[in-house]
Amino acid sequence: MSIRRLPPELINRIAAGEVVERPASALKELVENSLDAGANQVTVRLYAGGLERIEVSDDGCGMAPEEMRLALERHATSKLPGDAIDRVTSFGFRGEALPSIASVSRLTLESRVRGADGWRIEVDHGEAAGEGPAALPPGTRIRIEGLFDKVPARRKFLRSPRAEYAACLDAVKRLAMARSDVGFTLDHDGRRILTLQPTEPPARVAELLTHELDRHGIGIDCTRDGLRLTGVISLPTFNRGVADQQYLFVNSRPVKDRLLVGALRAAYRDLIARDRHPIAALFVDVPLEEVDVNVHPAKTEVRFRDPAAVRGLIVGGLRHALNEESGRSAAREQAAAPVMWTSSADLPYRLREGTAEQSEAGVGLMYAHPLAPSREREGVNDVAEAQRLFTEAPAARAEPAVEPVPTYPLGVARGQVAATYIVAEAEDGLVIVDQHAAHERLVLERMRAAREGGAVARQALLIPEVVELDEPECDRLEGAADELAGMGLDLERFGPTAMLVRSVPAALGRTDVAALLADLAAEIAELGGPLSLRDKLDHVAATIACHGSVRAGRILSVAEMNALLREMEVTPRSGQCNHGRPTWVKLGHGEIEKLFGRK
């Protein structure tokens, strides 16, 4: 076997495979170069998602003709004056991007240093293809055409122009967030997509993320041990099905680092369902010597000297902010949209028609007032009675308005709808609570508080209960017995296919122990993966909580409803259920007035 040195074109092409895998990554390299050149304005033009053509112009420092030739050579960079690769502040530092891109496309580089004439160099798939004078304002303009046209192996992996365009837009957004002091424009197929004036970071982030974050976002700013975290995250209830709106930066460099993504995820643990994702723009600033940016070909991952400190800062900082905001629920404003509320204006009319189902209309409405118990239970069975109910002069409230409404944030229970939702009157509006979602959350928080306080109240069963299960299920439960005991669930093996339960967490109240054990066994099987013990316990606690909570469909007494509301007010993170859905919504007086055209 003979060893040979590879020719430079081949080396460049191999590097291109790592540095530029699609139009968006070539575009990212070009914009980074413009930013490194001190540009105040970066102009991007794309055609067919960058597959046909990518053009980037800037008003940066420009290059003289001999610098342009060097720039296209491998490992030629102006960005490492010494050997201090551990202290780079520029986006680039390897001198790899331009020669790599030039080896897999037709590239035209035009540049002009202020006070000198402009020059143009063309390269066709790594071969010089001519040069000469060029007319352009001071700065640099680069055009890439036919990217990967002659590299079928790569071309195969490219997606549709739409998908490539989406990736390009994302790349520009990330860099625009990283450098809010620079103006950007982006055109696609001749259409203007973005115009961004130089501004401050929060304003830039707000411009590029959904405007909904004005109402559903939480601002972050915290410092710990010389590390700083700033930015904005969404309330847990304002989440997405894909993690496409998470922008992470380390020392102003956009990254897609696994450590940071994992920390973000961990901060939302149990506030959001496993398949939902928060929106976030987070900026981590660490001393230069704390981070190595030279670990990934496209520079999108970094290595921290002290990863635990960074993770701690993110999880701790976000968790704290989320706790402080826990009472807020994203659905509050959503629910205020009139479309979410069906108008009941035609209800009395339909009742007057007198058909069978219409009497049902009364059944769903249950009055909380203790003096109306019979109607509450039985519903309104006859049409005449329903008519009287709906055509009588309306009373202001289901419950007589004898006393002023005390100032509880979630108000006073006025009734229950569909045996599932509690309707309450607050000083500033109408509140609807999903009783199961809310109670599930409360049970989980109670269990967690108890666990963290080290004293889990357990309720011993007078007669220990024997639960029959499969052998593997028993094995799993037996294996987790210590952890479960830590949560107040004491069980032991009782033969090959049964478990004996001696106590249950007191937070649960009365519960179907057999169903709980079956669910736990399934949960433990599912969690078999690489989750931390703490994560597992939280999932298990959530499963237990689900069993302990009042179901939809259970009729609650007024006292029960009010007790639930009061506990929600003092429980952290009670604004959303364990799956990230809101537990309550509020319709403000102003919004009610709007619905009735009074405003």
Residue 154 Cβ vs ligand ATP, minimum distance, rounded to whole Å = 19
Nearer to Mg ion, 176 or 383 (CB): 176
Nearer to ligand ATP, 176 or 438 (CB): 176
Residue from 97, 314, 516, 542 touching Mg ion (CB under 5 A): that is 97
Q: Report how far apart, in Å, the C-alpha atoms of 348 and of each of 334, 356, 359, 380, 386 are.
A: 28, 14, 11, 14, 9
Residue 78 Cβ vs Mg ion, minimum distance, rounded to whole Å = 10
Distance (Å, whole) CA 95 – CA 78: 8
Q: What is the DSSP letter of 372?
A: -
Site string for Mg ion, 403-422 (x = CB under 5 A): --------------------
Contact between 126 and Mg ion per CB under 5 A = no
The encoded tokens of residue 76 equal 């030629």
Residue 92 Cβ vs Mg ion, minimum distance, rounded to whole Å = 3
Sheet containing 458-468: which strands, arranged edge to edge?
A: 458-468, 498-505, 490-493
37 binds, among ligand ATP, Mg ion, none (CB under 5 to 8 A by kind): ligand ATP
94 binds, among ligand ATP, Mg ion, none (CB under 5 to 8 A by kind): ligand ATP
445 binds, among Mg ion, ligand ATP, none (CB under 5 to 8 A by kind): none
Nearer to ligand ATP, 63 or 314 (CB): 63
Q: Which window, 89-97, 231-239, 508-516, 561-569, contacts Mg ion (CB under 5 A)?
A: 89-97
- Residue, CB closest to ligand ATP: 92
Chain positions 535 to 564 lying near Mg ion, rule: CB under 5 A, are none
Q: Report how far apart, in Å, the C-alpha atoms of 446 and of each of 57, 234, 309, 422, 452 are.
A: 58, 25, 29, 21, 10
- Residues ≥6 apart with Cβ < 8 Å to 545: 440, 441, 443, 444, 447, 507, 578
Q: Report how far apart, in Å, the C-alpha atoms of 593 and of each of 344, 393, 596 are.
A: 15, 19, 5
Site string for Mg ion, 26-45 (x = CB under 5 A): -------x------------
Residue 254 Cβ vs ligand ATP, minimum distance, rounded to whole Å = 14
Distance (Å, whole) CA 444 – CA 117: 70
59 binds, among ligand ATP, Mg ion, none (CB under 5 to 8 A by kind): none
Contacts with ligand ATP, residue ranges (CB under 6 A): 29, 33-34, 36-37, 58, 60-63, 71, 77-79, 92-98, 140
Tell me whether residue 132 is exposed, middle or buried, using C-beta atoms within 10 angstroms of its C-beta: 0 to 12, 13 to 18, 19 or more: exposed
Nearer to ligand ATP, 11 or 61 (CB): 61
**CA quadruple 24, 30, 33, 38: dihedral sign:** negative
Distance (Å, whole) CA 133 – CA 130: 11
Number of residues that bind Mg ion (CB under 5 A): 3
Q: In DSSP terms, which residues pair with 121 in a beta bridge?
A: 109, 131
Residue 310 Cβ vs ligand ATP, minimum distance, rounded to whole Å = 23
Distance (Å, whole) CA 70 – CA 539: 57
Q: Which residues bind Mg ion (CB under 5 A)?
A: 33, 92, 97
